[in-house]
Chains A and B, each alone.
Chain A
């Protein structure tokens, strides 16, 4: 059977799409990886990243518009140092009340909402830099707490307890340290 001209074009376009997929999916080193590379190899790592970016220029507009990519980092990091979020609030500078902490039946304020995957994406911080979604999350949850007619707080604090996974067990211990503490006052968020 003789293939039509369109079939040939289509096969060519598919080949091109596969090539772009493989280039986009090429595991180039991140800044964090490069810090661990030997000095003389770093320049090659940077050049590899630049070459990849250059080769992807023809499709950059489309991938950016639809926000799609071909490097799949599914649970790539499984460090034993992790965090445990505390959402706390208080009134008139009295003691902090723990409102929400994952898996704490005594502190489950808005747990369905806070556990929703898109919202968790903003507060599930395991990196040194919590990213721009984190302060936006603190703003939004503090505002919600201040507007809740059942709660009467004028200050909200969100912070991450540092925890360490115990070797040889699916369990953790708290280190006593806290990271990424952010506070919001009622008067700064509500008119």
Chain B
């Protein structure tokens, strides 16, 4: 293919339009996960302990490497609590899609400032969610199921039925990259055949992470090895999801390989494997919001037409159930 042709296809790829449903669903789920996390720390009376500067809490970096809020307003408990309150309100507004773009920006800034106060509590999932929130702010993720859409209707404006698809495609690539990067950053042999695929067993035996008291019956070890192997297979093959999705959505393309992918529904198999791995993590390990935060991004893997069709079926089923009652 000529370079000009390639460039034109690249431009066309990012110039597509689609319904905004997948982005809207991701907005709501990501917002709910973040909101639950922020409410949970309040419920366990851990806001000061999590964010305030020492000796009250873990916000040591507010003293050693102060972010702009600590420099402007002081590295104090009041600043940390105010940042927490702003993050909570902005996350609520983000979730319900009220003043969405402003809310998303404020949410990302407030959460990153909290991360700068207490970096030891900020995990990879927090960094990922901040990045996703910033990208969603550039999209029409408030076009449905939101306060903004409701106000738009009240003002007599027509609903947004089509929006740029590039934010969803870019976020799709971002999540794929997270998995692939996780696989090639796993230097410990416990994740690989020479380490006996023992990594998940090690985590199940770690009292800091294990959901159930360590000391599983020996037959569970084989299950843990299968879980380690599946995790590595899933993550290292993450880039093929892009090919699977494309082949799945382009009937007749990709020759025999395309036929194979469609016949055995490899795209859905891959997604189901990912979802089951995250559910397995949630069931057996205490990793906070990590599995839920990752699953909240799964609507981005779906074309809006697929999500709308699934929601339509659910709605019809609910209506039938309601009538029968």
Which residues does A use to contact B, with CB under 8 Å? 1, 3-4, 7-8, 10-11, 14-15, 17-18, 21, 25, 27, 33, 65-80, 82-85, 101-103, 112-113, 115-122, 124, 131-137, 139-141, 143-144, 163, 165-172, 189
Contact = CB atoms under 8 A, between A and B. Distances in A.
B124 A118 contact: no
A25 to B, nearest CB: 5
B214 interface: yes
Nearest to A121: B121
Contacts of B41: 116, 118
A52 to B, nearest CB: 14
Contact of B56 (A69, A102, A134, A143): A143
Contacts of A83: 208
Contacts of B185: 27, 71-74, 76
Contacts of B119: 67, 133
Contact of B199 (A10, A78, A112, A133): A78
B205 A117 contact: no
Most buried by A among B13, B60, B178, B203: B60
25 contacts: A11-B14, A14-B170, A17-B170, A66-B108, A67-B122, A74-B182, A75-B186, A84-B208, A117-B289, A118-B122, A118-B288, A119-B46, A119-B49, A121-B121, A121-B123, A124-B209, A131-B120, A133-B60, A134-B120, A140-B49, A163-B207, A165-B201, A170-B201, A170-B204, A172-B214
A189 B11 contact: no
A132 B208 contact: no
B159 to A, nearest CB: 24
Contact of A139 (B50, B54, B184): B54
Contact of A169 (B12, B44, B109, B221): B221
Interface stretch (B18-26, B87-95, B127-135, B311-319): B127-135
Contacts of B59: 136
Given A82-B206, A122-B58, 11 more contacts: A3-B15, A33-B187, A68-B128, A72-B185, A75-B199, A78-B199, A79-B190, A80-B198, A116-B41, A168-B218, A172-B214
Given A67-B130, A119-B50, A10 B166 contact: yes
A140 B208 contact: no
A75 B121 contact: no
Interface in B211-233: 213-216, 218, 220-221, 224
List 6 tightest A-B contacts by C-beta distance, closest first. A133-B120, A117-B288, A118-B121, A78-B199, A78-B190, A170-B204
Contact of A113 (B46, B123, B128, B208): B46
B218 A78 contact: no
B325 to A, nearest CB: 39
Interface of B: 8, 10-15, 37, 40-41, 44-46, 49-50, 54-61, 64, 108-109, 112, 115-116, 118-124, 127-128, 130-131, 134, 166, 170, 173-174, 177-179, 181-182, 184-188, 190-191, 195, 198-199, 201-210, 213-216, 218, 220-221, 224, 286-290
B46 A3 contact: no
Nearest to A21: B177
Contacts of B56: 140, 143
Nearest to A4: B15
Contact of B121 (A66, A80, A82, A122): A122
A46 B206 CA distance: 34
Given A117-B121, A132-B120, A69 B127 contact: yes
B10 A11 contact: yes
A117 B287 contact: yes
A1 B179 CA distance: 35
Contacts of B61: 132
